[in-house]
């Protein structure tokens, strides 16, 4: 709460100048600040830092997702505009809403309601889920003042092809983990007997799918999508390497897939930056 209040002071003027209303602005700020604050607690899998007992690798992967949301949020807040703010809120909705529904409907018995962190988990997820839905469904407008709609400019055909493939791959992967968390194993899932942890892992894949899908249509979403994928990809790679050093051979496939995602996304970001610098 203190971090969100400080962020509101820092970024309030930029958000106001961009016409971003209070709720979507606070949503981005709180998720950005919370992402950075939560990441170290989850990386070291500290006791009582989450609402159920996560396997160490799952905790580190959650930390990578948290950091990715924080870094992507900083990019959006650096130059807040209607499109990037809606992009961020939409990505958050695709991550949290399915997870919240699945947790309540299928996995409520996994939560210990004698622990304060459980109530904190549901409070945060409920607030962020309902708020992020404002990016998807009217009537809650993200802008305070009417502005002429700017026609989206799609990226290059090669980028669109790559983004379509990535959106489809992570979308299918995420949906499959939500629907069949017990049946999938190996490269698809590292925790086939832990449905709640598998669905938590699937939530970030749905966020990735949403990010790449939005980048297909509008080039202003390319940078935040690639940055999110780069941080998350290298974060998951680091998490898997720690597990491999500890003797767990299970995440080899995950390390290869997400290491490739991080490297490819970083290379595309660098190429995009060079092309912009060389433009007349």
pLDDT for 60 equals 96
Q: What percent of the chain has pLDDT over 90?
A: 53
Q: Counting beta carbons within 10 angstroms of the beta carbon of residue 130, is it exposed (0 to 12), middle (13 to 18) or buried (19 or more)?
A: middle
pLDDT for 79 equals 82
What's the whole-number mean pLDDT along residues 189-210?
A: 92
Tell the residue number behind the tokens 């708020």, with chain if given.
131
Candidate ranges 80-84, 126-130, 150-154, 200-204; pick with highest mean pLDDT: 200-204
Who contacts 72 (Cβ-Cβ below 8 Å, separation ≥6)?
88, 91, 224, 227, 228, 231
142 vs 160: which has the higher pLDDT: 160
What's the whole-number mean pLDDT along residues 114-139?
A: 81
Say whether pLDDT at 184 is over 90.
Answer: no
Q: How far apart are CA 148 and CA 153, in angstroms?
A: 15
204 vs 114: which has the higher pLDDT: 204
Q: Counting beta carbons within 10 angstroms of the beta carbon of residue 271, is it exposed (0 to 12), middle (13 to 18) or buried (19 or more)?
A: exposed
DSSP-derived letter for residue 152 is P
pLDDT for 135 equals 57
Beta-bridge partners for 20: 143
Could you tell me the two tokens for 14?
């930029």
Say whether pLDDT at 41 is over 50.
Answer: yes
Tell the residue number behind the tokens 């003797």, with chain if given.
247
pLDDT for 276 equals 62
What's the whole-number mean pLDDT along residues 197-201?
A: 93
Neighbours of 265 (CB within 10 A): 22
Tens-place pLDDT, residues 213-237: 999 999 999 999 999 999 999 999 9
Say whether pLDDT at 141 is over 50.
Answer: no
Say whether pLDDT at 158 is over 90.
Answer: no
Q: How far apart are CA 90 and CA 84, in angstroms?
A: 10
Say whether pLDDT at 148 is over 80.
Answer: no
Beta-bridge partners for 143: 20
Contact 58, 192 (CB under 8 A): no
Backbone angles phi, psi at 270, to 5 degrees: -65, -45
DSSP string, 191-209: -TT-HHHHHHHHHHHHHHH
Neighbours of 171 (CB within 10 A): 18
What's the whole-number mean pLDDT along residues 244-264?
A: 93
255 vs 136: which has the higher pLDDT: 255
Q: Which of 242, 98, 260, 245 is nearest to 187 (CA)?
A: 260
Say whether pLDDT at 212 is over 90.
Answer: yes
Tens-place pLDDT, residues 102-123: 999 998 998 988 888 899 899 9
Q: How far apart are CA 113 and CA 250, in angstroms?
A: 32
Q: How far apart are CA 107 and CA 104, in angstroms?
A: 6
- Torsion sign (Cα): 249, 252, 203, 195: negative
Residues found in the chain: 280
Tens-place pLDDT, residues 13-34: 888 777 777 777 888 899 999 9
Instruction: Lowest mean pLDDT of 173-182, 208-217, 255-264, name the range.
Output: 173-182
Instruction: Provide the mean pLDDT of the chain.
Output: 87
Q: 139: cis peptide before it, omega within 30°?
A: yes
pLDDT for 20 equals 76
Say whether pLDDT at 280 is over 70.
Answer: no
Tens-place pLDDT, residues 59-79: 999 999 999 999 999 999 988
Distance in Å from the first CA to the final CA of the chain: 44
């Amino acid at each position: 709460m203190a971090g969100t209040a400080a962020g509101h002071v820092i970024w309030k003027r930029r958000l106001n100048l961009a016409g971003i209303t209070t709720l979507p602005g606070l949503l981005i700020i709180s998720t950005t600040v919370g992402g950075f604050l939560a990441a170290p607690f989850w990386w070291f899998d500290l006791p009582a830092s989450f609402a159920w007992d996560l396997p160490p690798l799952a905790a580190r992967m959650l930390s990578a997702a948290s950091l990715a949301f924080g870094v992507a949020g900083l990019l959006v807040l650096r130059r807040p505009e209607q499109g990037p703010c809606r992009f961020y809120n939409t990505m958050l909705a695709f991550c949290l809403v399915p997870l919240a529904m699945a947790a309540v409907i299928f996995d409520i018995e996994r939560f210990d309601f004698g622990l304060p962190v459980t109530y904190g988990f549901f409070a945060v997820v409920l607030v962020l889920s309902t708020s992020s839905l404002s990016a998807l469904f009217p009537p809650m407008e993200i802008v305070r003042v009417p502005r002429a709609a700017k026609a989206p400019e799609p990226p290059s055909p090669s980028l669109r092809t790559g983004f379509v493939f990535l959106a489809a791959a992570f979308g299918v992967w995420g949906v499959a983990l939500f629907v069949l968390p017990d049946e999938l194993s190996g490269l698809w899932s590292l925790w086939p007997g832990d449905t709640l942890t598998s669905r938590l892992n699937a939530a970030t894949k749905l966020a990735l799918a949403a990010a790449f899908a939005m980048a297909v249509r509008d080039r202003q979403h390319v940078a935040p999508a690639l940055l999110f994928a780069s941080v998350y990809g290298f974060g998951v790679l680091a998490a898997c390497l720690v597990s491999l050093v500890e003797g767990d051979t299970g995440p080899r496939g995950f390390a290869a897939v997400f290491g490739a995602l991080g490297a490819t996304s970083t290379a595309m970001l660098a190429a995009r930056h060079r092309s912009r610098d060389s433009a007349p």
